[in-house]
Amino acid sequence: MKKIISLLIIMVFFIPSVVKADMGAPVIEPYKLIVTAPEGIDYYYRTGGTDTKKHLNYNDIFEVEYEYKDNGGYVYSIIVEKDVYDTYITSLDGTALVTKELDPTAAKLQMSEKKSGQALVYAKDGVDLLKGPSSAYDKITHIKKGTKLNYTYITGESDSGISYIYVTYNGKNGWLSILNGEVLLKESNIYVFRKDFKTTSCGTIPKNTILKSLYKTDQWSGEELFKYNDCEDLVPVFRSLDVLYIDEEAYITTSKKEFKVYEYAENEGSIVTTIPKDKKFIQYASTFSYGDDDEDIYVEYEGKRGWIKTNINNFETDIDNKVKFTYEFEEEKEEEPLSSEDDKKKEDYEEEVTKSSKKSIDDYVITYCIIGIAISLSTIIIIILINKKRKNKVEKLKEDNSDNIEENKE
C-alpha cells in the first residue's frame, strides 16, 4: 500500500501535464449544419479501419460534435444517426450553420462554462474573432499579436482541455481559438530545468535554472511561455524529462537509505550534501518511472537543494505533511489587459496617429512640390530675362555697327 501511495505522489510531479494524455480531440460546443447543396453532400463512416462513403440530401440537418486539424485541413465528427459514431466530413462546403452566432449568456451550453481569466494573442499574424466556438462560424474582426484580453467563458473544461474562449474586443463579443498556440492563457507554474535546454529564440537555458511560466498554450500543444534574459519563448513541458514541474506544496519524505545529493541530475557535478538514512527531506520535482526504475528527484535537505537518483522503494512519503516551495523570482510588472473601452481608445489613437502621420507626409510632399515648382518657374523667368537682355545687347551692337558703316561711307 505504501508503495502505491509513493507512486501516486511521484505522479503529482507531472501535474499539470499528465492529465493531458489520451484526451482525444479538442472539445467544441456542438452545433447544427443544414445541407444547402442541391445535390447533397457525402460523409464517411469508419468501421474496422475502413471508411465507407454515405450521402446526405439537400435540407438534411446534422450535428457536429467535435473538430480537429489533420494535414492542414479540418476533420468534423458528425452525428447523423442516433448511437452511430465514427462518422465525419472533411469540408463544410455545401452546408450552412443553422444558428449563425452563439451568445453564451443566452444559449443553453453543453460543453462550455462560465470562467474568467486572462489571455494573450500569440500567433504571428494575429487571430480572428469568431461568432462561435468553431472554425465554422463567421469572422467578426481580426486581433493583432500581443493583444492582452480578459475572457469570461470557455469551451471545454479546465482539467481536460480548453479549446475556445469568449472575449470582448473593441466593443465586439466573440470567440477565439486557443489551439495550436495561437492564443495563450495566463499561467504561473514553477519548473526546474533538469538539463541544458536550447530554446528557439532565447538561446540555451542552463540546467538547474528555476523559472515561473507566464502563459500556457492549449493542453494538446503542451507548452508554456517563459521569460529568460529579457527574452520570451515557448518551452514544451508536457511529459518533458528536461523541464520538470515543481509542486509548490511539496511533500516531506523519509529516506530508507543514505543518499548523496548531487549538484546536477544524473549524479553529475559535486556532492552538495548527504541525506542519512531515516531522515526527512523535501522532494520538489521528479522524472517519472514505473516500478523499480531509478529516477532523478530534485530535493532539499537542511536548506541545500540538489538531485538524487533512486526509486520509490528507497523512500517513504508522508501525504499529510507538506511544505511550501520558496524561491526569489525576479518580479515582473505585468501589464493589465485592456478593457474594451481602453482597447477602443488605443485603436482610435493608433488610427489618429496613422491619419496624422499620413497627413504630415502629404503636407510635406505638397509643400516641397510647391517649392520645387516655384524654383523651376523662377529659373525659367531668370533665363528668359537673361536671354532678352542678351538679345537687346546684340541688337544695340548691330545698330552701332550700322551707324559706323554709314559714317565711314560719308
pLDDT digits (tens, 9 = 90+) for 185-239: 999 999 999 999 999 999 999 999 999 999 999 988 899 999 999 999 999 999 8
Those residues whose C-beta lies under 8 Å from the C-beta of residue 173, and which sit 6 or more positions away, are 103, 166, 167
DSSP lists the bridge partners of residue 253 as: 281, 317
Encoded amino acid at 98, one letter = V
Task: Output the pLDDT for position 409.
Answer: 47
- Band of pLDDT at residue 2, cut at 50, 70 and 90: very low
Q: Looking at the whole model, is its pTM more than 0.75?
A: no
Residue 347 has pLDDT above 90, yes or no: no
Length of the chain (residues): 410
Q: Give which of 284, 239, 248 is closest to 20, Cα–Cα.
A: 239
List, for residues 8-59, the tens digit of each pLDDT value: 333 433 333 333 334 567 888 999 999 999 999 999 998 888 999 999 999 9
In whole angstroms, what is the distance from residue 174 CA to residue 177 CA?
10
Contact 217, 235 (CB under 8 A): no
* CA-based max dimension of the chain: 149
Task: Output the pLDDT for position 27.
Answer: 82
List, for residues 50-61, the tens digit of each pLDDT value: 999 999 999 999
